[in-house]
Structure 1
Amino acid sequence: MDQSILLVGTRKGAFILHDDGGRKDWRVSGPHFLGSAVHHMVLDRRDGKTLLLGTRPGHLGPTVFRSSDLGAHWQEAAKPPAFAPAADPAAAAASVDIVFWLTPGHADDAGVWYAGTVPPGLFRSADGGNTWQEVAGLNSGYLPGIQQYIGAVPGGPPLHSICIDPRDAAHMYIAISSGGVFETGDAGETWRPLNRGVAATFMPDPAPELGHDPHRVAQHPLAPDRLYQQNHCGIYRLDRPGETWQRIGAAMPAEVGDIGFPVVLHPRDPDTLWVFPMDGTENWPRTSPDGRPAVYCSRDGGESWARQDDGLPREQAWWTVKRQAFCVDSGDPAGLYFGTTSGQLWASADEGATWRRIAEHLPEIFAVEAATVSS
């Protein structure tokens, strides 16, 4: 019998929620790594049992842990992601501060994983996450030349949204905040920016090639030529082989705006997506607009949007949702889940029509991933 689980990373540890088989009642297990910041925890859907977790334990350095039994036992990577020493002995070498993002490799590449870090770096493991090597074409090939365009962001600029084309393991997209969206067609040997059409109102040139701040990029699994992006400057869609992003957030209500962090795609319908707007006005308070949180759904590729807030607080709820903390499952109807900066976990079993709180009083939630396992 298949069972849904939720993998929750927080500022003070990781939690795993198990459902009752009907997505109604959830049992919380954990915390794992109590006191350690857990930025991402991901199930390897290729085997349905292996978990990888990126964490920064207390005063120790960032690392990766692996579990082959859904979190009952954990083993630390023998060689976590780390930058090579500087070529010039007198120069300061870059140092990984956070293992921020984890993505399993292509379905045909068993054991391959990718990791994105703070400061921006891309790493690859070919042995299930035990040892990690730099993707040199990016880290030492492309990144040094664009370093001047990568801006400062709270917590440091992360590399995130590692998207592997399901048709071609050598074709990938990544995003860097704040740097932009980039594409490779040769497994990371060479890279090119993919930012045309995206605004950058915080830059002297409002439409630069480099220096953008993508918050989240998602590629549809069944229509991989369809990409969506939640950016510092709006919500966008790109249909390849096109090169220019379209600002679909322009159709959002003006009083809400189209600024936020996550974007979530329906598992079967490339035209359906969800976002969680936040207040991005004035000094960027990073709260729900007017203290009234809501999910917004589009079922026509961003041409129009509908507010979904049934069950959510109607007022005085001053939290928001981080880029990795909103996800969808593969159910029919699809289930949606998001975690808040105030430690609440919310769920919808009807594609956002209604919401209910399934956990609260957790630490600040960094990431939520939904998965299905055999029980």
Structure 2
Amino acid sequence: MSQGVQLLVGTRKGAWIFRSDARREAWAVDGPHFLGSIVNHLVLDPRDGRTLLMAASTGHLGPTVFRSTDGGASWTEAARPPAFAKAAEGETPRAVDHAFWLEPGHASEPGVWWAGTSPPGLFVSRDGGGTWDGVAGFNDNPKYWDWCPADGGTPDGALLNQVQVDPRDAAHMYIATSTGGVFETLDQGTSWRPLNRNVEANFFPDPYPEYGQDAHYIAVHPAMPDRLYQQNHCGIYRLDRPSDEWVRIGKAMPEEIGDIGFTIVPHPRDPDTAWVFPMDGTDVWPRVSPGGRPAVYRTRDAGASWERQDGGFPREQGWFTVKRQAFCADAQAPLGLYLGTTGGEVWMSDAEGEAWRPIARHLPEIYSVVATPL
């Protein structure tokens, strides 16, 4: 039986929640929440279906995390938000500029959450987001400044931009960074190793270093966790474990479009199907849709080929892109896809990308879109 969908939308100026009817045709809007604040990520805990966490930067509180257990009607700030420990004498000081990514812990660990920040830092909460502690295995790693150089990062700052937990094993995790690429732990963060073999970093003299890549997004496939997809600053990749070598599947994209973008969305039931939203990564990196003609591209053969899906999008003068956390899928059949643009629009397809329509316009620049069942 069909059920409604809830979209959690974070923007440069606040958060909105959209709730659909069972057919995903009519949408009710709730918001704005924290109008004027930067909301990088708004996430529902799938383990209880009611706890919301929000990574926000407010004018008076600075970078923090808020929690709601009543659908966003009320919010409580974390008693101890993510923060680096005070630097010892002679050490380089670090201060959290903003929390960027929030990740619910493993299904076996209710109350555990993970957070990635700028500058790159990994933090954990074991009380449902109320208090946060640094993960010393990464933040204080002897290789930290090699993996996260102070002069590296994106226009919005260097990022630990993603945390992914293996659904089979709470101790097995991946993180993505904008300065060092992808890293893996087998002991829940006590130790880490780079996982970047065959991922290009064409801005270095050695274009295939052990670390230094800009991993825009990684996706561990929920039905086949040994398959990972990655959208990188330098292409689209797939990794099939136990191999440690990524395969560049973006070379099959049309040459005039390229394989540069911010995110990749796998089909939750089909490991061979995934979607990307390409952007113009040529010359000056304008970070807009190639040629002003936005489209998603779908693979149904694990990246061997890609097909353009642009039904409903502007045919011309569509100069927007989709950021790291702003493209997602629901779990319904047919699958629903949702994306938020830098132009403040939310688009959806309830036909697995075959046709698109806007369900919200005129929002601030959209940073994240997360789909959950109602």
Normalised-by-shorter TM-score class? over 0.9
After TM superposition, the structure 1 = structure 2 runs for residues 30-179 of structure 1, keeping only pairs within 5 Å, are 30-88=31-89, 91-141=91-141, 142-148=143-149, 151-179=152-180
Matched, 1:319 2:320: yes
Aligned counterparts of 2:73 and 2:22: Cα–Cα separation in 1: 20
Give 2:290's aligned residue. Answer: 289
Unpaired runs of 5+ residues, structure 2, are none
**Larger mean Cα displacement after TM superposition, 29-38 or 58-67:** 58-67
In structure 2, what is the Cα distance between the partners aligned to 1:371 and 1:295? 21
TM-score, normalization by structure 1: 0.97
Q: What SS does the corresponding residue of 1:62 show, helix, strand or coil?
A: strand
Q: Distance in 2 between matches of 1:126 and 1:19?
A: 32
Q: Residue 368 in 1 paired to residue 348 in 2? A: no
Distance 1:356 1:149, change over 3 A: same
Give the distance between the partners of 2:175 and 2:334, measured in 1 at CA. Answer: 29
Tell me by how many angstroms 1:124 deviates: 0.2
Q: Distance in 2 between matches of 1:149 and 1:27?
A: 43
Equivalent position of 2:186 in the other structure: 185
Cα deviation, residue 91, structure 1: 4.4
Q: Superposition pairs for residues 246-257 of structure 1, below 5 Å?
A: 246-257=247-258
Number of aligned residues: 372
Question: Residue 28 of structure 1 corresponds to which residue in structure 2?
Answer: 29
Q: Distance in 2 between matches of 1:314 and 1:28?
A: 28
Determine the C-alpha separation between the residues in 1 that align with 2:146 and 2:358.
46
Contact 2:295 2:308 in 1 (8 A): yes
Q: In structure 2, what is the equivalent of residue 305 of structure 1?
A: 306
- CA shift digits 1:81-108 (9 cap, x unpaired): 00001121x5452000010000000001
**SS of 2:30 mapped into structure 1:** strand
CA distance in 1: counterparts of 2:92 and 2:109, whole angstroms: 35
Kept in 2, the 8 Å contact 1:236–1:248? The answer is: yes
Match of 2:261 in 1: 260
Q: Find the residue that maps to 2:144 and give its secondary structure.
A: helix
- 1:16-48 Cα distance to aligned partner (Å, 9 max, x none): 000011111111110000000000000000001
Whether the 8 Å CA contact 2:3–2:21 is kept in 1: the answer is no
Mapped contact 1:150–1:179 kept (Cα < 8 A): no
| Aligned residue identity for 2:183 | F
Match for residue 329 of structure 2?
Answer: 328
Match of 1:347 in 2: 348
Find the aligned partners of 1:238 and 1:87 in 2 and give their Cα distance.
39
Q: Secondary structure of 1:94's partner?
A: coil
Does the CA contact (< 8 Å) of 1:336 and 1:352 recur in 2? yes
Distance 1:146 1:260 in 2: 22
23-32 or 360-369: bigger deviation? 23-32
Q: Percent identity?
A: 63
Q: Distance in 1 between matches of 2:342 and 2:255?
A: 24
Counterpart residue identity of residue 51, structure 2: T
- Worse-superposed segment, 148-157 or 204-213: 148-157
Helix, strand or coil: the match of 2:270? coil
CA contact (8 A) 2:228 2:238 kept: yes
Instruction: Name 2:231's counterpart in structure 1.
Output: 230
Whether the 8 Å CA contact 1:151–1:211 is kept in 2: the answer is: no
* Matched AA of 2:55: G
**Aligned counterparts of 1:242 and 1:157: Cα–Cα separation in 2:** 28
Aligned to 1:270: 271
Instruction: In structure 1, list runs of 5 or more residues that go unmatched.
Output: none
Q: CA RMSD in A?
A: 1.2
Q: CA deviation at 1:59?
A: 4.7
Counterpart amino acid of residue 350 in structure 2: A
